[in-house]
Amino acid sequence: MPEFRLTQISDTHLTRRHQELTDNFHRVSEYIDATRPDLVVNSGDLAWDAPTNPDDPEFAHELHAALPVPCRYLPGNHDVGDNPTLPAPAPSQPVTEQGVQAFRACFGEDRWRFEAAGWCFIGLNSLVMNTGLASEAQQFDWLAQALASADRRPVALFLHKPLFLNSPEDAELAATAMRFVPMPSRRRLVEMLNTVDLRLVASGHVHQRRDFTSRHVRHVWAPSTGFIIPDRKQEVIGRKEVGLVEYRFQPDAFEVRHVRAPGQIDVDLEQLLRRS
């Protein structure tokens, strides 16, 4: 039976300025070297903060390129800037076409589709949602075609921001609006996804590990490989730890394993910033 092994890493936030995050990435790299999945997906925030530190993406790419397996990348808000939300104030670094272009130049396409083990895999740029940028309209057109071509195969979706907290109808609180795919683009996306056999939505961004099922779709929030955010800065929703997620896909079935690479350390963001 064909099997496809995928390892999801997220929120690596790499920069030459924070060695502890690079050390955690090296522990993850060693684990990937030992386990040799078919593919590594980084679901965004590859860089510490590309808008303010233009060297970070190149450094992040260098470290990923040294991995012994192929990688696919998706942008996070610290790679291309953040998307506007209805209830929250405008982000300090809004996503721009320029930011998206810079990401593509460094990491390749910011959205992708491929098939393996009887599944259709789709990666989306969640940061262009709700922006009104040409990239958003282009991505929705592209997604319509990608979903049509799934042709009854089960679909696994990867993106940086989770779709929602618990269900598509969650009321969007102003304080957490930036945590999820923003309304009203989320509604459009969910409606499009309702037309296919969606089984998995894999995201990052929150720096907390979470795994739940909503309407037969499994939602997996990958933790950061690099750091956790202390409770006084961020409420506890899932598990605050660093780590990664392993998937095994077979026709019509998949398994999820929540993993910490040996030697990974739960770096606390506040302590990291205090030391720098």
Task: State the nearest-atom distance from the C-beta of 33 to Fe ion, in Å.
Answer: 24
Shortest distance (Å) from residue 11 CB to Fe ion: 4
CB of 124 to Fe ion, least distance (A): 14
Considering beta carbons, is residue 61 or 199 the nearer one to Fe ion?
Answer: 61
Min CB(21)–Fe ion separation in Å: 11
Near Fe ion in 98-157, by CB under 5 A: none
12 binds Fe ion (CB under 5 A): no
x-or-dash pattern for Fe ion, window 63-82, by CB under 5 A? -------------xx-----
User: Does residue 45 interact with Fe ion by CB under 5 A?
Assistant: yes
Size of the site for Fe ion (CB under 5 A): 5
d(CA 263, CA 260): 8
CB of 205 to Fe ion, least distance (A): 4
Scan residues 203-222 and list those touching Fe ion (CB under 5 A). Answer: 205
Q: Which stretch binds Fe ion (CB under 5 A): 119-127, 178-186, 202-210, 212-220?
A: 202-210
* 223 in contact with Fe ion (CB under 5 A): no
Contacting residues toward Fe ion, per CB under 5 A: 11, 45, 76-77, 205
